[in-house]
């Protein structure tokens, strides 16, 4: 069976490394720049020094960086230094992005676009377009992200800024990757790589090797090819002295060997990367290595070493409060103790894992809702800006073409009414969509919580009773009976609550389904309801306690009863249309 590591281990490495290196180097430079600032009287030099100080805070203190960028903006604006003003606005947009202030960040980039185009500064306009593209990508609107990236690409090519052309090509590749257009993503990554080689941008070359390797690793599962590109990335980073980057490349090379079932080849790379991260004092990367080593030793059945590395990873993860690392570390610990037959300890780690996973789901849900809310509000603001532009155009037409003033007023009122009605309808649809989403989310969360709490209470109570009352030789038999009783009792309570919530959002689903297929059993109706919510077999298994193999068999029987077993129809799509 193929063993796949979490995608974040591969794709989030480069950003974190740049942060850690810059963070350790910038304070002396900031102090030097601030001393120079006190001696400068020239406006242009003062603005540029403030911008340089702001940039030094980019990886360590975004609030301080934003303060210096705004100071540069104010001085440039008061002295009509437009080039400095645009640079300051662009930097403000960058800091707002780091601070997750979507509204002000997007406004800053749009202001920079407007001012740069007005002053004929193509390079600055292109940078602003790239910033806007990143916002759309963050919202999951990759079509618009690609549109703005291509605008930026056109301007960078026009100005001959090859380095930024390469960066923009890599951003377009990311848009393609998130849309699962892997071949196109590789095409743009290779174009970015060619440019990095042409201008001898060593860090850029290493980064593109790493990105290409990640696509082959995570998307195509072509581990030999991924290994080839990760090795090239390591060679370049080692050549230019990028120690932390080299450590990351070594870790990824180890993953490739592990996935290719060359366990003995993986361990030296894991050990070398761990040594680099320990010397640099990077706890997050140390935990990544400890998890990799834990998986390695579990695979070769050296459980004691596996436990040692996984426990060390968990200790770091808890200190960093990294939910992702906690999930990965406790997953190893739970499985090892299950293999050793220590179910109590395994259950304890399973609980820690579940809590971390639940926290991740809550945070993800909150972030998604926040982004949806902001995107909706942004679209309303965008419509309002377009309406204002339309109104200004009409006013200009009124001045130029006085004879058509009455017609312009009528058209303006008509347009405003149409937009108002459209916005009202959009708002109603959004409210209905949010309500539906929250009901479904509440159903799933409530089910999981009820199952966990009820099962824990019942198990604790009855295990204590059995321990006090039952003879030793009857213990195993009674435990088996207890497991069946707990499962049956929990399932009945959970299904009753689920059925109630489900019918609130899918009121006539059961009636329509039974009308067409009256011979469906209760268990098949339950499975149909779960599938109606687009839940995977794994998710249904976690809720019901059934094995995934059992659920797959049940899905096959359900397809036969619904008459779609011999067709290409998707079961989830079929049920969602009833």
- Residue (of 184, 144, 150) closest to 168 by Cα position: 150
* Residue 5 banded pLDDT, cuts 50, 70, 90: very low
Lowest mean pLDDT among 319-328, 443-452, 508-517: 443-452
DSSP3 helix / strand / coil % (the chain, rounded to 5)? 85, 0, 15
pLDDT recorded at residue 401: 66
Instruction: Give the angle subtended at the CA of 176 by the CAs of 251 and 285, to the nearest 5°.
Output: 20
CATH topology for 513-578?
Answer: Arc Repressor Mutant, subunit A (1.10.10)
* Residue 184 banded pLDDT, cuts 50, 70, 90: very high
Asked if the model's pLDDT at residue 230 lies above 80, the reply is yes
Asked if the model's pLDDT at residue 62 lies above 90, the reply is no
Asked if the model's pLDDT at residue 176 lies above 50, the reply is yes
0.75 exceeded by the pTM? no
Q: Are 313 and 329 in contact (CB under 8 A)?
A: yes
How many residues can be counted in the chain?
Answer: 578
Q: Is 44 helix (H, G, I), strand (E, B) or coil?
A: helix
Asked if the model's pLDDT at residue 27 lies above 80, the reply is no
pLDDT recorded at residue 223: 95
Q: Where are the domains of the chain?
A: 513-578
**Most confident region among 48-52, 225-229, 316-320, 377-381 by mean pLDDT:** 225-229
Q: Retrieve residue 228's tokens.
A: 């080839």
How many percent of the chain have pLDDT more than 90?
Answer: 35
- Tell me the mean pLDDT in the region 556-565: 88
pLDDT tens track for 259-298: 999 988 999 999 999 999 999 888 889 999 999 999 999 9
CA gap 98, 94 in Å, rounded = 6
pLDDT recorded at residue 415: 75
CA gap 435, 492 in Å, rounded = 27
Q: Retrieve residue 569's tokens.
A: 């129809």
pLDDT recorded at residue 361: 78
Asked if the model's pLDDT at residue 24 lies above 70, the reply is no
CA gap 350, 340 in Å, rounded = 15
* Residue 180 banded pLDDT, cuts 50, 70, 90: confident
Q: Are 175 and 142 in contact (CB under 8 A)?
A: yes
DSSP assignments along 235-289, one per residue:
HHHHHTT-HHHHHHHHHHHHHHHHHTT-HHHHHHHHHHHHHHHHHHT-HHHHHHH
Q: Are 226 and 213 in contact (CB under 8 A)?
A: yes
Asked if the model's pLDDT at residue 409 lies above 50, the reply is yes
Query: Which residues, in sequence order, are CB contacts of 504 under 8 Å at separation 6+?
Result: 439
Phi and psi angles of residue 34, each rounded to the nearest 5 degrees, phi first: -65, -35
């Amino acid at each position: 069976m193929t063993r796949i590591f979490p995608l974040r281990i591969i794709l989030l490495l480069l950003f974190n490394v740049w942060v850690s290196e810059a963070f350790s180097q910038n304070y002396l430079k900031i102090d030097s720049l601030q001393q120079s600032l006190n001696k400068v009287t020239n406006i242009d030099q003062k603005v540029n020094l403030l911008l340089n100080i702001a940039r030094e805070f980019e990886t360590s203190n975004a609030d301080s960086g934003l303060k210096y960028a705004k100071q540069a903006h104010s001085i440039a604006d008061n002295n009509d230094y437009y080039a400095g003003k645009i640079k300051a606005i662009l930097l403000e947009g960058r800091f707002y992005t780091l601070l997750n202030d979507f509204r002000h960040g997007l406004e800053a980039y749009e202001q920079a676009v407007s001012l740069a185009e007005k002053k004929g500064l193509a390079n600055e306009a292109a940078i602003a377009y790239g910033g806007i593209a990143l916002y759309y990508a963050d919202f999951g609107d990759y079509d618009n992200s690609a549109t703005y990236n291509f605008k930026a690409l056109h301007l960078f090519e026009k100005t001959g800024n090859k380095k930024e052309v390469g960066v923009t090509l890599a951003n377009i590749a990311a848009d393609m990757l998130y849309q699962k257009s892997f071949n196109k993503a590789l095409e743009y990554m290779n174009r970015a790589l060619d440019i990095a080689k042409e201008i001898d941008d060593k860090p850029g070359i290493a980064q593109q090797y790493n990105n290409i390797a990640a696509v082959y690793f995570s998307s195509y599962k072509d581990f030999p090819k991924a290994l080839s590109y990760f090795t090239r990335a390591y060679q370049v980073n080692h050549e230019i002295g990028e120690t932390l980057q080299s450590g990351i490349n070594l870790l990824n090379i180890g993953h490739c060997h592990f996935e290719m079932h060359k366990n003995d080849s993986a361990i030296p790379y894991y050990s070398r990367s761990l040594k680099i991260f320990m010397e640099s004092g990077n706890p997050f990367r140390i935990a990544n290595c400890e998890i990799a080593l834990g998986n390695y030793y579990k695979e070769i059945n050296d459980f004691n070493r596996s436990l040692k590395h996984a426990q060390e990873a968990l200790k770091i993860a808890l200190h960093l409060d990294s939910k992702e690392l906690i999930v990965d570390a406790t997953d190893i610990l739970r499985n090892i103790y299950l293999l050793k037959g220590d179910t109590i300890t395994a259950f304890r780690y399973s609980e820690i894992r579940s809590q971390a996973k639940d926290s991740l789901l809550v945070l993800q849900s909150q972030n998604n809702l926040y982004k949806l809310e902001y995107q909706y509000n942004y679209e309303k603001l965008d419509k309002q800006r377009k309406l204002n532009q339309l109104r200004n155009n009409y006013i200009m037409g009124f001045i130029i073409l006085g004879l058509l003033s009455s017609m312009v007023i009528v058209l303006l009122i008509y347009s405003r009414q149409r937009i108002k009605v459209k916005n009202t309808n959009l708002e109603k649809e959004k409210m209905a969509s949010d309500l539906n989403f929250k009901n479904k989310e509440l159903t799933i969360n409530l089910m999981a919580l009820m199952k966990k709490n009820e099962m824990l209470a019942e198990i604790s109570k009855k295990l204590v009773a059995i321990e006090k009352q039952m003879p030793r030789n009857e213990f195993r038999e009674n435990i088996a009976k207890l497991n069946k009783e707990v499962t049956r009792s929990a399932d009945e309570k959970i299904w009753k609550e689920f059925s109630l919530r489900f019918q609130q959002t899918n009121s006539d689903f059961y009636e329509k389904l039974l009308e067409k297929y009256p011979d469906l059993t209760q268990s098949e109706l339950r499975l149909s309801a779960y599938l109606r919510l687009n839940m995977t077999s794994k998710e249904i298994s976690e809720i019901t306690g059934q094995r995934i193999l059992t659920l797959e068999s049940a899905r096959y029987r359900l397809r036969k009863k619904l008459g779609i077993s011999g067709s290409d129809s998707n079961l989830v799509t079929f049920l969602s249309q009833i």
